[in-house]
Amino acid sequence: MNTELPEAHQRLADTVRAFADEVVAPVSAGHDAAGTFPYDLVAQMAELGLFGLPFPEEYGGTGGDLLALCVAIEQLARVDQSVAITLEAAVCLGAAPIARFGSEEQKQRWLPELASGRALAGFGLTEPEAGSDGGGTRTTARREDGQWVVDGEKAFITNSGTDITRLVTVTAVTGTAERPDGRVRKEISAILVPTDTPGFRAEPAYDKVGWNASDTHPLTLRDVRVPEENLLGEEGRGHAGFLSVLDEGRIALAALAAGAAQGCVEEAVRRARERTAFGRPIGGHQAIAFKIARMQTRAHTARLAYRDAAARLLAGRPFRTEAAIAKVVAAEAAVDNARDATQVFGGCGFLNEIRVARHYRDSKVLEIGEGTTEVQLMLIARELGL
C-alpha cells in the first residue's frame, strides 16, 4: 500500500488545511459557545466544492472520490469537529444514499443542489428505541391513494433542522415477510421526505456535551404524505441499503477522528514549546515529550487505517472489516489524544475557549455515532468466524 496521497489529493488537503486554519479556527470557539450553526463557513466550504467531492460532474459534483472527501474532512476536524461532521454527514449520509440508490429522476432533482452545498439532507435511521439495532425500526409507511403515509419518530439526526435542510431520507417499516425458520421479519424501506411536507417536524435541537455547532434534532413524522415515487431504491431493501452506506461513511468518520487526533498533537506540541516549567519548556521534560510522542503514533496509525480502507473501496475490494477497524482505531485515538492533550495544557485545558478542551468534549461521540465501537467489534469478530 502506497501511503502517500496522489498529487491532486495532496493539493486538496493543503487547500482545506489553509482554509481550516485561517477561516474556520478563528470562529470555532464562538460557534461552539453559542451553539450556532456555522452558515458562513458552510457557504465558503460550498464555494470550495467540498460538498460535491465524490459525486459525478453530471450531477453537480467535482468528479472526485471518497478519499478526496476524507482528506478534506480530516483537515477540517483538526480545528473543528462540528464543521467536519457537518460536511461528513451532508455527503455520506445526506446525499450518498440518493447517489447510490436513487432513480435518475431523483438524482437530477436532488443531487445538484446537495452537491453544491446550497442545501443539506439528513439520514433518518436512528430512533428512540432503534439505535445499533436498526432492525428495531418502529416508524411505518403505508400506501394510500398513490402516496406513502409515514408515521414515526427519529432521533439524533444530523443536519435535519437547518435553514437550508431540504429533505431527510427516512427508514420505515413497509411490510413483513416470513423467514425460512417461520419467524416474521420487518421489511424496511427508505423514503425521501422533503422537510416542507406537512406533518414533518424537526423538534428543538439537543443540548449536547460536544459538537455544539453541529445541527442535531429529534424528528416527528405524523401523517406525512409523499408521492410513491419518493421510495429510494427497492421496497423492503432500505435497511440493507443504509447499512452499506454506513460502511462507506465509517471510513469518512474515521478520517474525521484521525484529524481530531492530529489536531490534538499539533496543539500539544505548540503548548509544550511555549509553556515553561522548572526553568525550561515543558516539552523538554521526558514525561511530556513521551506523552506527545505516543499521541503522534495514534494519529499516524489512525490515518493509515482509514486510508487503507478507502484504498480497498476505491479498488473494488472488500473493505467492510477494514472500515470497522479504521473507525475503532481512529475513534480511540481521538479520545485518547484529547485526554492527553488536555493534560499537557493543565488547567488551561479545562477552558472551553481552548481547542483541546473542545476536542475533549467532542471526541467521545466518535465512539458512538455511525455504529458504536461495540458494533464495529461485532463486525470484526464475525469476519474472524466468531
Angle of helix 286-314 versus helix 66-77 axis, rounded to 10: 160
Give me the residues paired with residue 153 across strands.
220
Which listed residue (88, 370, 374, 383) is catalytic?
A: 370
Burial class of residue 287 in the structure, from the number of CB atoms within 10 Å of its CB (0-12 exposed, 13-18 middle, 19+ buried): exposed
Give me the count of residues in the chain. Answer: 386
Angle at 52 between CA 257 and CA 26, to 5 degrees: 55
235 labelled catalytic: no
Angle at 327 between CA 38 and CA 331, to 5 degrees: 65
379: number of Cβ within 10 Å: 19
d(CA 208, CA 370): 17
The per-residue DSSP string of 51-63 comes to GGTTS-GGGT--S
Contact 117, 52 (CB under 8 A): yes
Contact 360, 286 (CB under 8 A): no
Contact 232, 97 (CB under 8 A): yes
Active-site residue set? 370
